[in-house]
């Protein structure tokens, strides 16, 4: 009877140890993933700060084109004839 309980104890210890090791690996990879994700977003924030410091003449040597807007009349041609 003692041999049987020893193997059950050993099997339970192996299963628990594997579960603990899996959790530790998962959380360490998750932490590394979060760090890299934060670094990626920081790269985008740095790009936005750099673009704010530039003037329009540095980015585009030509001045922007001014556009005129046309107003749309409210009455339709059918109402205008009547």
Instruction: Tell me whether residue 29 is in a domain.
Output: yes
Residue 82, pLDDT score: 59
Residue 45, pLDDT score: 61
Instruction: Tell me whether residue 35 is in a domain.
Output: yes
Torsion of CA 15, 21, 22, 26, to 10 degrees: 160
Instruction: Tell me whether residue 43 is in a domain.
Output: yes
The pair of three-digit structure tokens given for residue 11, joined into one six-digit string = 């099997």
The C-alpha atoms of residue 7 and residue 2 are separated, in whole angstroms, by: 9
Residue 10, pLDDT score: 94
Per-residue model confidence as pLDDT tens digits over 10-47: 999 999 999 999 999 999 898 888 887 777 676 666 55
**The pLDDT of residue 54 is above 70:** no
Domain tally for the chain? 1
Instruction: Tell me whether residue 11 is in a domain.
Output: no
Per-residue model confidence as pLDDT tens digits over 57-81: 456 567 778 888 888 877 776 665 6
Q: What is the pTM of this model?
A: 0.41
Instruction: Tell me whether residue 73 is in a domain.
Output: no
Instruction: Tell me whether residue 41 is in a domain.
Output: yes
Instruction: Tell me whether residue 25 is in a domain.
Output: yes
| Domain housing 37 | 21-51
């Amino acid at each position: 009877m003692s041999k049987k309980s020893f193997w059950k104890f050993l099997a339970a210890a192996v299963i628990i140890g594997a579960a603990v090791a899996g959790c530790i690996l998962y959380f360490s990879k998750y932490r590394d993933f979060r760090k890299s994700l934060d670094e990626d977003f920081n790269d985008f924030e740095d790009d936005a700060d750099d673009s704010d410091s530039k003037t329009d003449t540095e980015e585009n040597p030509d001045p922007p084109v001014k556009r005129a807007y046309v107003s749309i009349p409210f009455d339709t041609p059918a109402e205008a004839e009547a």
